[in-house]
């Protein structure tokens, strides 16, 4: 199998495409349910399509460019599960092709081949949630584009100005898709100083280019009288919200330990058994820094799940490919290649099978609602983190990210909070309120126009009007 991908022939991508589709079949056969983050992204698109402005009318911290994609996808394809899978598949396929071309163009290996594409397609099987249209996935594409420009700076006599400009712009776009990618800016600066010897002017150009997409977003919200909300929701308050652990560290270790171990071995073999050029040494250093950056992003995440680490796949691909290409023994290469082909997807399949049959999956998947029949077709406001009721109901709430809502309301004074809640109820007019957090009575206290409008039923649901 490795021999097939050792040839530098773009037609090898047809084999990659076939392999990708083949490896995805077990996931579809397992009938994986929709995930809580997916519903949040779909709801965001619906709310924006209804004329609500993100951050102002919708309390949420999704990146503005990601929100734009969900809005457009909602208009065209209703943010269906199928559209999420199809677009994710196309993005991943582009990343595979682009990563392989990037490594070939920068002479990362002694021989140009499609082994990196083969390795990368297998690594994408580590988790089923890689195949969803997440902000992390969309943003990682532009991180990859920025990384490509950074690698090009290791070449002597390169015309650096256009590359540095694009490098900063791509990094800024990635940040506007997914907040944790802000960590890529210090990486660019640090690696530029340490490895590429950037001047002060070049570093200033990177910073300026990085800020261009951010300024574009800020100007848009300024025109919409929502600049302060944009700054609060996406920058300041987002760092204060509590993490949601959709999966635990044990699961993350099971998924990523072996690929990381093989990558480390590949890194060591590359340094010990290979005579590298100066440029290749720089590549090695850059990818190592990039791997550390991806690990460090954990501290900036508001949700902990495998898809958040999808940006690390190109780095792992680089080092693992060295693991295959350095050895000259064909038999050893063949054995290792087939073992890798079998074991890596098996990790993802086995973990998924375990998760589907374990109660811990309830923290990640959408749950069935006990009041499904009651809520169906009704306009509902949920005061809490559980979004499952919105599967059958119409969302009549600006509190898409309730963890962020609580932080935001805590920042407000008591009177400001009551005013905001009163305005939200008046605008949304939910027929039913689900008070999961137990805050409704506290928030309506002192609002004489609101209290008589809602009554609490024996089931705990709060109805607008008389109890049903």
Predicted pLDDT at 327: 61
Distance CA 214, CA 234 (A): 11
Mean pLDDT per 10-residue section of the chain, whose length is 468 residues: 74 90 94 93 95 95 97 92 94 96 85 89 96 96 93 68 89 97 89 76 90 97 96 90 92 95 86 71 85 88 94 93 73 80 95 93 84 86 93 94 94 91 93 93 88 85 75
What are φ and ψ of residue 249, in 5° steps?
Answer: -65, -30
The dihedrals phi and psi of 268, each to the nearest 5 degrees, come to -65, -45
> According to the model, what pLDDT value does residue 292 have?
87
Closest-CA residue to 126 (of 234, 265, 259): 259
CA–CA separation, 320 and 99 (whole Å): 13
What pLDDT does residue 158 have?
Answer: 58
pLDDT given at position 363? 85
Q: Give the C-alpha separation, 283 to 317, whole Å.
A: 13
Do the strands 454-456 and 244-245 form a parallel or antiparallel pair, or are they unpaired? unpaired
pLDDT of residue 156: 54
Q: Would the CA dihedral through 282, 285, 291, 294 be positive or negative?
A: negative
Smallest Cα–Cα separation from 117: which of 99, 142, 140, 138?
99
């Amino acid at each position: 199998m490795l021999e097939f991908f050792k040839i530098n022939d773009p037609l090898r991508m047809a084999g990659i495409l076939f392999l990708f589709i083949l490896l995805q079949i077990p996931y579809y056969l397992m009938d994986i349910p929709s995930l809580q983050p997916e519903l949040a992204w779909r709801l965001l698109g619906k709310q924006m399509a209804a004329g609500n402005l993100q951050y102002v009318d919708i309390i949420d911290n999704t990146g503005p460019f990601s929100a734009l994609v969900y809005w457009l996808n909602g208009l065209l394809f209703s943010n269906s599960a199928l559209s999420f899978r199809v677009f994710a598949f196309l993005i991943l396929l582009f990343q595979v092709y682009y990563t392989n071309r990037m490594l070939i163009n920068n002479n990362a290996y002694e021989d140009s081949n499609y082994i990196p594409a083969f390795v990368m397609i297998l690594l994408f099987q580590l988790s089923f949630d890689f195949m969803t249209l997440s902000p992390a996935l969309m943003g990682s594409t532009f991180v990859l584009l920025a990384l490509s420009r950074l690698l090009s700076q290791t070449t002597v006599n390169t015309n650096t100005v256009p590359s540095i400009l694009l490098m900063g712009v791509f990094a800024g776009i990635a940040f506007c898709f997914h907040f944790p990618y802000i960590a890529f800016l210090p990486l660019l600066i640090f690696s530029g100083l340490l490895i590429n010897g950037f001047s002060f002017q070049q570093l200033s150009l990177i910073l300026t280019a990085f800020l261009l997409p951010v300024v574009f977003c800020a100007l848009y919200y300024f025109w919409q009288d929502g600049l302060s909300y944009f700054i609060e929701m996406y920058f300041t308050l987002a760092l204060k919200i509590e993490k949601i652990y959709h999966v635990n560290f044990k699961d993350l270790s099971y998924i990523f330990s072996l690929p990381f171990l093989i990558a480390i071995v590949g890194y060591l073999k590359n340094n010990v058994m290979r005579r590298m050029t100066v440029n290749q040494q720089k590549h090695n250093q850059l990818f190592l820094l990039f791997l550390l950056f991806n690990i460090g992003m954990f501290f900036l995440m508001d949700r902990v799940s495998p898809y958040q680490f999808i940006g690390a796949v190109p780095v792992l691909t680089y080092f693992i490919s060295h693991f295959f290409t350095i050895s000259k023994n064909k038999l050893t290469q063949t054995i290792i290649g087939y073992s890798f082909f079998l074991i890596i997807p098996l990790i993802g399949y086995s973990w998924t099978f375990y998760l589907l049959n374990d109660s811990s999956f309830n923290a990640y998947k959408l749950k069935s609602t006990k009041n499904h029949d009651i809520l169906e077709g009704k306009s509902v406001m949920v005061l809490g983190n559980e979004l499952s009721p919105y599967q059958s109901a119409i969302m009549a709430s600006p509190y898409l990210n309730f963890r962020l809502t609580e932080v935001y309301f805590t920042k407000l004074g008591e009177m400001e909070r009551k005013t905001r809640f009163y305005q939200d109820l008046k605008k949304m007019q939910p027929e039913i309120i689900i008070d999961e957090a137990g805050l409704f009575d506290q928030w309506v206290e002192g609002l004489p126009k609101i209290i008589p409008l809602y009554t609490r039923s024996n089931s705990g649901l709060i109805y607008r009007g008389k109890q049903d």
